[in-house]
Amino acid sequence: MKKNILITSCAISALLVSGAQAVTLISSDFTGDHTGTSTSVTWTTDANVTELNSGTIAAVGDGFRNVGNPAAAVDLTNVISTSGNLSGVSPQGFSFDFSLSAGYDLTSLVVDTGHVNGQGLDQAYMSDLTISINGINGTVYSYSDEKMQVDYTSGARLLTQTFDLSSESLVAGDYRVTVSMDNLDEGGAFAEYDNFSLSGAAVAAVPEPSSASLIAVGGLTFGLRRRR
């Protein structure tokens, strides 16, 4: 009898705690022409996610630019490129707000990052990359992480940076994401960003106590009858 009860309990647990697949909560490839201290981008979101502020992202630091030196005519559209130099004291990057109508267990934050010079050409330096997610509008939550001295001295112009958020969970509410660079190791360069995504799995709904009780009672009854 004990063996049947144990097996039935395991089956009940499997039914009540079924893991959801990870999805992309919100993402953008930053297609567009981005200048000024704020700019509009197109976001792709999961069903339970709403991007706030009509697609507007705000500059962290001095602002955004869309070309390098006019004489060089380097096109910096379809990426986020900052107008503030990383040789200064202020971080340079972007932030945006979103809202969740359901809870999520986060998995990762991914963003492509790089450096360009005043002409919009690749700069091979190192700098720190910081991300943060904070609750706003009454939502209580705070998380930050930093990659120290990301090395851009080799490889592609933009390097994919992945932050592991598997220990973090968000409840329904409003949040602000901030991504920025600072602490350039030498010279001068401007920050560049592309292909942002935040991923996670929707928190599985727990059945009402009455439903769970019915499942348990039915399963135990079946196990006891099999034993007899």
C-alpha pair distances (Å), 140 with each of 25, 58, 128, 135, 181:
19, 21, 27, 5, 25
11 domain residue, yes or no? no
Q: Tell me: the pLDDT tens digits for 144-168?
A: 999 999 999 988 889 999 999 999 9
3-state helix, strand, coil in the chain (%, to 5): 15, 45, 35
Q: Kindly report the pTM of this predicted structure.
A: 0.82
177 domain residue, yes or no? yes
221 domain residue, yes or no? no
Instruction: Please tell me which residue, 106 or 120, carries the higher pLDDT value.
Output: 106
Q: Identify the pLDDT of residue 76.
A: 72
Which of 80-84, 104-108, 152-156, 203-207 is least confident?
203-207
173 domain residue, yes or no? yes
Q: Identify the pLDDT of residue 210.
A: 54
Average pLDDT over residues 212-217: 48
Q: Identify the pLDDT of residue 217.
A: 44
Q: How far apart are the first and last CA of the chain?
A: 9
User: Do residues 111 and 187 touch, judged by C-beta distance below 8 A?
Assistant: no
70 domain residue, yes or no? yes
What's the CATH code of the domain at 152?
A: 2.60.120
| 69 — pLDDT class (breaks 50, 70, 90) | low
| Domains identified in the chain, total number | 1
1 domain residue, yes or no? no
5 domain residue, yes or no? no
Domain, as residue range, for 25: 19-204
**What's the half-sphere exposure (Cβ side, CA atoms, 13 Å) at 41?**
29
Q: Identify the pLDDT of residue 65.
A: 87
**Which residues sit opposite 174 in a β-bridge?**
99, 136
63 domain residue, yes or no? yes
Instruction: Please tell me which residue, 67 or 103, carries the higher pLDDT value.
Output: 103
Structure tokens at 106: 């986060």
Nearest to 112 by CA among 46, 192, 32: 192
User: Do residues 53 and 97 touch, judged by C-beta distance below 8 A?
Assistant: yes
Q: Identify the pLDDT of residue 89.
A: 82
